């Protein structure tokens, strides 16, 4: 597995990943395309990456910070997979919860439902004949039982620290700041706190896991260093934080 974060926040998400296969070269995937098309190309090239070898693009849901370039990528001949709002009725690329889809040779995706404020939001189990990853971005929680899977790597949202939001929300209510009240209520109802992230990780079999990557941290309500320390200490695994403008911590 090789991984590059090109963007990770409510301002945009895009991740470049390669997974090993037994008798084939690694499969190349773009997970999320939530930046303008030209910006994806620019960030890829500054990482020494190229769009041509990308075998498939997978998108979790139809919010712009995850899907902005999906149309441009499709028009340029990339295979973009996502729900009906992203790919329409194209059965070849339509992802539906519970239905395994082959997205490249020896590369399959098991999409499952996650709770989020966008229609048909999905999480992904992505696996080749050699490696398996879990990818869960925007999500308040997911009910899918994945305790039997042995993931090599886990990519999961960790948006905010519950205590930080609590005080900010109370302050917004005191000040009758309706914009902030709405923002915090939306966040609490559609995104994952670091405590929720840890609760989900506790339910998984981490015996094969070689790394946990935290995504989509809030700029105002998350401390990347603390989150990284907390997860690596609690689970005894290397933990990395995907940075807003690309790169990892």
User: Judged by CB under 5 A, does residue 131 bind Zn ion?
Assistant: no
User: Judged by CB under 5 A, does residue 138 bind Zn ion?
Assistant: yes
Q: Rounded to the nearest whole angstrom, what is the least distance from the CB of residue 63 to Zn ion in the complex?
A: 4
Alpha-carbon gap, residue 157 to 149, rounded angstroms: 19
Cβ nearer to Zn ion, comparing 138 with 161: 138
Selected from 32, 55, 65, 161, the binder of Zn ion by CB under 5 A is 65
User: x-or-dash pattern for Zn ion, window 15-54, by CB under 5 A?
Assistant: ----------------------------------------
Sole window of 83-91, 135-143, 155-163, 167-175 interacting with Zn ion (rule: CB under 5 A): 135-143
Alpha-carbon gap, residue 109 to 215, rounded angstroms: 20
Residue whose C-alpha is closest to residue 122's, from 96, 148, 84: 96
User: Judged by CB under 5 A, does residue 63 bind Zn ion?
Assistant: yes
Alpha-carbon gap, residue 140 to 159, rounded angstroms: 10
Q: Rounded to the nearest whole angstrom, what is the least distance from the CB of residue 15 to Zn ion in the complex?
A: 13
15, 69 contact by CB (below 8 A) = no
User: Judged by CB under 5 A, does residue 55 bind Zn ion?
Assistant: no
Q: Rounded to the nearest whole angstrom, what is the least distance from the CB of residue 148 to Zn ion in the complex?
A: 28
The residues near 113 (Cβ < 8 Å, ≥ 6 apart) are 97, 120, 121, 122, 123, 142, 143, 144
216, 184 contact by CB (below 8 A) = no
Interface residues toward Zn ion, by CB under 5 A:
63, 65, 138
């Amino acid at each position: 597995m090789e991984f590059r974060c090109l963007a990770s926040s409510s301002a945009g998400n895009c991740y470049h990943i390669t997974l090993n296969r037994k008798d084939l070269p690694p499969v190349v995937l773009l997970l999320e395309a939530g930046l303008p098309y030209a910006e994806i190309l620019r960030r890829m090239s500054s990482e020494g990456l190229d769009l041509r070898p990308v075998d498939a693009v997978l998108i979790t849901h139809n919010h712009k910070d995850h899907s902005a370039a999906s149309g441009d990528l499709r028009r340029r001949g990339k295979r973009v997979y996502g729900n009906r709002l992203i790919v329409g009725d194209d059965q070849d690329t339509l992802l539906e919860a519970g239905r395994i889809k082959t997205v490249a040779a020896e590369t399959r995706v098991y999409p499952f439902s996650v709770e989020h404020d966008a229609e048909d939001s999905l999480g992904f189990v992505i696996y080749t004949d050699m490696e398996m990853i879990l990818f869960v971005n925007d999500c308040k929680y997911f009910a899918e039982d994945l305790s039997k899977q042995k993931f090599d790597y886990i990519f999961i949202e960790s948006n905010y620290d519950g205590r930080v939001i609590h005080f900010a929300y109370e302050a917004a209510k005191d000040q009758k700041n309706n914009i902030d009240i709405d923002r915090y209520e939306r966040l609490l109802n559609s995104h994952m706190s670091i405590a929720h992230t840890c609760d989900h990780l506790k339910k998984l079999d981490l015996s094969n896991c070689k790394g946990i990557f935290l995504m989509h941290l809030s700029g105002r309500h998350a401390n990347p260093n603390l989150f990284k320390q907390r997860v690596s200490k609690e689970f005894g695994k290397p933990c990395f934080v995907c940075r807003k403008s690309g790169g990892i911590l």
